[in-house]
Amino acid sequence: MSYEGASTVLSELKLDTSSSERLHLQLQRQIREKIQAHRLPPGEKLPTNHEISATLSVSYETVQRAMKALADRGLVVRHKSKGTFVRKAVMPRVVAVYCTDSVFDPKASPFSSLMAHHLSNLLHEDARDMRVHYAPEPWGNKTKGYADMRRDLEERRVAGVITLNRMPRELVDLAYAMSIPVVGVTVPHAADNVVWVDYVDFTHRAIRRMVKEGCRRVVLIGYSLDIEGTHLEDLFKIAEANGLKVVAEDVKCPIGDDWIERGLQMGRQLDLSKYDGAIVADDIIAVGFTRALARRGVRVPEDLRVITMWNRGSPLALALPAVRFDVNIEEMARQSVRMLDQMIEGRAVVLPRLLLKLEESLEHVEHI
């Protein structure tokens, strides 16, 4: 197809100004569909943004936003002084996702299940496949997920890996040896590139917030002595430097399959005379924890300041009576796919900055 052919194909695009879908999203989607249908073949040079703007009678900014999004997703490449081209490399067909076997159970793992859902949608849009490798607890080299992942890496059956949980170091090393990139989502030691570190960054922010709230000693609920590869001793030092006392005995890691019951257990047992605040590592544990406190007559946050993880779009849709951290999981999934494509193509990796949003909820716990 010639350059004039690309102009003809793009002139066929129809943008609906009455649609609820933004114009730049319509344009992005329709160009993506033309590329996937090979109406715009690999290597094809596209008209300039000004030419597309004039052809479709839309603003230059609309075209610019659409083309930037296509470039970020690796569908087109922009060469300075040469123009914009449909990417020559074939979009990788298979992306492996390493996760626990409960990843699609919203009650057991609301964060991972929502992340997997968004990843599946994003890859499907680009006509790619998602191969899921389960790593049941305890994670290790005797699980079927481990064996399947090792085979896929050794035989180069996947173009890249996105890991939602702790991926064994030997698998990461094998992937790198086979030149198969790995992107870790929330797991800092699993890969060189991490989209977002949840517990570590969350705890740092929570500690600073607790100090501002006037807390001097807090309890950490739902943590272990080793948070995803980062030992709590480092966090103790940070807390102390900020005037907040946190020691090993303040770290509570309730055991059990039912995470709400874990929180209830800790809420019943907690000696409130020691603490003026609590940092809860998981929103499901926080449900049981705050319920137990309410039954003891403890008002949150008036009597005890509580900060908890909150996942935007969580299927549980819980209204927790506490300060919460709002996390855009869909954007995290989009960033992880974008980063993986950058690594596959050998482009410079742009590390995302996904900031957490603090929100205050004073709704009573009985409304949960």
pLDDT grade, residue 235 (50/70/90)? confident
Angle between the N-to-C axes of helices 60-72 and 23-36, in degrees from 0 to 180, rounded to the nearest 10: 50
Who has greater pLDDT, 116 or 31?
A: 31
pLDDT grade, residue 1 (50/70/90)? very low
**pLDDT of the residue at 163:** 84
pLDDT grade, residue 268 (50/70/90)? very high
Indicate the Cα dihedral angle 41, 43, 48, 53, nearest 10°.
20
Residue ranges of domains in the chain, CATH in brackets: 3-86 (1.10.10.10), 94-194+329-354 (3.40.50.2300), 199-327 (3.40.50.2300)
Q: Which tens digit of pLDDT belongs to each residue from 189-213?
A: 556 666 655 556 667 777 888 888 8
Residue 143 pLDDT > 80? no
**pLDDT of the residue at 187:** 61
**pLDDT of the residue at 367:** 36
Averaged confidence pLDDT in the chain: 76
Residue (of 275, 327, 333, 331) closest to 301 by Cα position: 275
**pLDDT of the residue at 257:** 67
Mean per-residue pLDDT, 164-168: 76
In percent, how much of the chain has pLDDT > 70?
A: 73
d(C-alpha 159, C-alpha 95), whole Å: 6
Number of Cβ atoms within 10 Å of the Cβ of 354: 14
**pLDDT of the residue at 62:** 92
∠ CA 244-249-250, nearest 5°, is 45
d(C-alpha 162, C-alpha 137), whole Å: 18
| CA–CA distances in Å: residue 16 to residues 2, 32, 199, 213 | 28, 17, 43, 49
Mean per-residue pLDDT, 30-53: 85
d(C-alpha 25, C-alpha 33), whole Å: 12
Residue (of 129, 120, 122, 100) closest to 112 by Cα position: 100
Residue (of 286, 293, 358) closest to 318 by Cα position: 286
Residue (of 54, 42, 65) closest to 7 by Cα position: 54
Q: Which tens digit of pLDDT belongs to each residue from 281-316?
A: 777 788 888 889 989 998 877 888 888 765 544 444
Mean per-residue pLDDT, 19-42: 85
In percent, how much of the chain has pLDDT > 90?
A: 7
pLDDT grade, residue 356 (50/70/90)? low
Residue (of 276, 165, 294) closest to 219 by Cα position: 276
Alpha helix ranges (H) inside the chain: 3-11, 23-36, 49-56, 60-72, 110-125, 144-154, 169-177, 198-212, 232-241, 259-269, 283-295, 329-344
Q: What does pTM read for this prediction?
A: 0.58
Mean per-residue pLDDT, 106-110: 58
328 contacts 312 by C-beta, under 8 angstroms:
yes
d(C-alpha 31, C-alpha 73), whole Å: 12
**pLDDT of the residue at 275:** 92
**pLDDT of the residue at 364:** 37
